[in-house]
């Protein structure tokens, strides 16, 4: 690489990503370091503790206060005490120091699967009734359901949170009988949870919904004895078509009539599908006639 392009490269090879990264930093700009599993105590442990991945200046000071100055000192420390003192990060760094990192190596462009999908909204005016809250929750539920389907995910746990005009918040969660990606299900559960938290006694300024316990394997609907086997499939198809129309023609192309009763609180689009019209002159110079 250097002979051909004049570019210097440093590389590290090890049986885990943490030590490989550390090896690539040992001889910066032009070096190649191999750390074998039976060599790390000799090569890695004498290094300053701040050379370890995720040990910054602040954590270095904490470790130094505990007489931990090298990676070896950290590896020989009491893992239980480190976790008690620093939480999960303490145990994680102890694991790194001992060469026990087993995290996977992913291809470039890998995106970590989401643990939850949700939306929230701080409104332009206060919510003072369950009717208003339902329509705001409808917009949020539709956006969450669309995002779930786009990622081929379904969720089983739903959380809501409500904040009043003093931004004092409260929330709760519930669980579906099965995984779902339907806005209808999300909305109904959200309203059931809201009824436990709020009676309309204080105005709400900010609300949110989050769906968790996600799965990409729940590719069927578990029906009970009295369910219409085609009902959920029809609802999913309807919601999918509705979303496709909005993507093509803008969010306002298709709205529920009930959302227009108080359009001021529902005039938002979590997915960014609203078609914005800007003055031509501001973007493209003078208007051509």
- Note the pLDDT tens digit of each residue in 37-93: 888 899 999 999 999 999 999 999 999 999 999 999 999 999 999 999 999 999 999
3-state percent breakdown (helix, strand, coil) of the chain, nearest 5? 45, 20, 35
Q: What local confidence, expressed as pLDDT, does residue 281 receive?
A: 42
Token pair, residue 145, equals 């359901």
pLDDT at 66: 96
Task: Tell the residue number behind the tokens 């529902």, with chain if given.
Answer: 266
Alpha-carbon distance 141 to 160, whole Å?
11
Dmax over CA atoms of the chain, in Å, equals 77
pLDDT of residue 103: 81
Reported in sequence order, the residue ranges of the chain that DSSP labels E, i.e. its strands, are 10-14, 31-35, 116-127, 154-164, 169-180, 204-215
Cα separation, 23 vs 43, in Å, equals 9
Rounded to 10 degrees, the C-alpha dihedral 12/14/20/23 comes to -50
Query: In angstroms, rounded to a whole number, what is the distance separating the alpha carbons of residues 61 and 138?
Result: 50
- Which residue is associated with the tokens 């250097």? 2
Residue 7 burial (10 A CB sphere; 0-12, 13-18, 19+): exposed
Go through the chain and tell me how many residues it has: 289
- Name residues of the chain where pLDDT drops below 50: 275-289
Burial class (CB in 10 A: 0-12, 13-18, 19+), 137: buried
pLDDT at residue 278, rounded to an integer: 42
∠ CA 154-157-163, nearest 5°, is 120
* Predicted local distance difference test score (pLDDT) of residue 276: 44
What is the pLDDT at residue 232? 86
Question: What local confidence, expressed as pLDDT, does residue 289 receive?
Answer: 35
The pLDDT assigned to 223 comes to 66
């Amino acid at each position: 690489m250097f002979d051909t392009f004049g570019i210097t490269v440093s590389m590290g090879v090890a049986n885990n990503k943490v030590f490989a990264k550390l090896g690539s930093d040992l001889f910066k700009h032009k070096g190649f370091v191999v750390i074998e599993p039976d060599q790390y105590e000799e090569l890695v442990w004498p290094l300053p503790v701040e050379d370890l991945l995720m040990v910054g200046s602040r954590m270095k000071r904490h470790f130094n206060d505990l007489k931990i100055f090298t990676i070896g000192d950290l590896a020989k420390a009491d893992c239980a005490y480190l976790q008690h003192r620093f939480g999960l990060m303490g145990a994680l760094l102890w694991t790194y120091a001992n060469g026990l990192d087993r995290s996977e190596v992913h291809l470039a462009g890998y995106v970590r699967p989401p643990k939850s999908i949700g939306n929230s909204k701080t409104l332009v005016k206060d919510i003072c009734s369950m009717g208003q809250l339902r329509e705001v929750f409808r917009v949020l539920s539709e956006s969450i359901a669309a995002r779930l389907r786009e990622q081929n995910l379904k969720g089983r746990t739903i959380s809501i949170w409500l904040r009043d005009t003093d931004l004092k918040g409260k929330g709760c969660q519930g669980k579906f009988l099965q995984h779902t990606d339907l806005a209808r299900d999300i909305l109904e559960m959200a309203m059931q949870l809201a009824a436990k938290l709020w009676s309309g006694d204080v105005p709400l300024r900010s609300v949110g919904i989050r769906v968790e316990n996600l799965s990409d394997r729940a590719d069927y609907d578990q029906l009970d004895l009295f369910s219409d086997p085609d009902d959920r499939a029809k609802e999913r198809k309807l919601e999918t078509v509705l979303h496709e129309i909005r993507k093509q023609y803008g969010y306002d192309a298709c709205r529920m009539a009930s959302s227009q009763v108080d359009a001021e609180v529902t005039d938002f689009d979590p997915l960014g599908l609203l078609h914005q019209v800007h003055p031509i002159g501001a973007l493209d110079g003078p208007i051509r006639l």
